[in-house]
């Protein structure tokens, strides 16, 4: 575990890295038009990022000691189905959250 000065140096390094990444896009090339191929790839960033963040929480949830459990799996499947049918991200997330909360309430 990182403590004390090492923790603050780590936080500062993450802050500098985050700033540098955003500055490249907004500060250096923010006023220029981007090539079409790059814009096409950037459109898929959220579509790739959200499942990458959520998948470990569904498959290896810390709340259940790393064991796959029914409420999280069902909520993920409901979210996927709603998103596929409606193509609405907000509706899919809300439906999945409601399913998760209902499943956890029924299990607990």
Count of domains observed in the chain:
2
16 shares a domain with 42:
no
Q: How confident is the model at residue 3 (pLDDT cuts 50, 70, 90)?
A: confident
The pLDDT, as a whole number, for residue 106 is: 94
Tokens representing residue 99 in the block: 């399913």
20 shares a domain with 6:
yes
Q: How confident is the model at residue 82 (pLDDT cuts 50, 70, 90)?
A: very high
19 shares a domain with 41:
no
Contact 43, 49 (CB under 8 A): no
Supply the range of the domain harboring residue 21.
1-32
48 shares a domain with 64:
yes
27 shares a domain with 46:
no
Query: Rounded to whole angstroms, how far apart are CA atoms 68 and 74?
Result: 11
Average pLDDT over residues 41-60: 87
18 shares a domain with 40:
no
Q: Is the pLDDT of residue 72 over 80?
A: yes
Q: How confident is the model at residue 108 (pLDDT cuts 50, 70, 90)?
A: confident
Q: Has this prediction a pTM greater than 0.75?
A: no
The pLDDT, as a whole number, for residue 38 is: 86
49 shares a domain with 27:
no
**Between these two residues, 81 and 25, which has the higher pLDDT value?**
81
55 shares a domain with 100:
yes
What is the distance between the terminal CA atoms of the chain, rounded to a whole angstrom?
32
């Amino acid at each position: 575990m990182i403590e004390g000065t090492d923790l603050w140096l780590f936080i500062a390094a993450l802050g500098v890295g985050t700033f540098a990444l955003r500055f490249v896009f907004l500060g250096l090339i923010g006023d220029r038009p981007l090539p079409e191929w790059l814009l096409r790839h950037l459109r898929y960033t959220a579509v790739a990022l959200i499942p990458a963040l959520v998948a470990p929480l569904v498959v290896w949830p810390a709340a259940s000691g790393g064991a796959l459990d029914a409420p999280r799996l069902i909520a993920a499947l409901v979210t996927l189905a709603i998103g596929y049918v409606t193509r609405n991200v907000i509706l899919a997330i809300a439906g999945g959250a409601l399913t998760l909360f209902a499943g956890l309430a029924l299990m607990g």
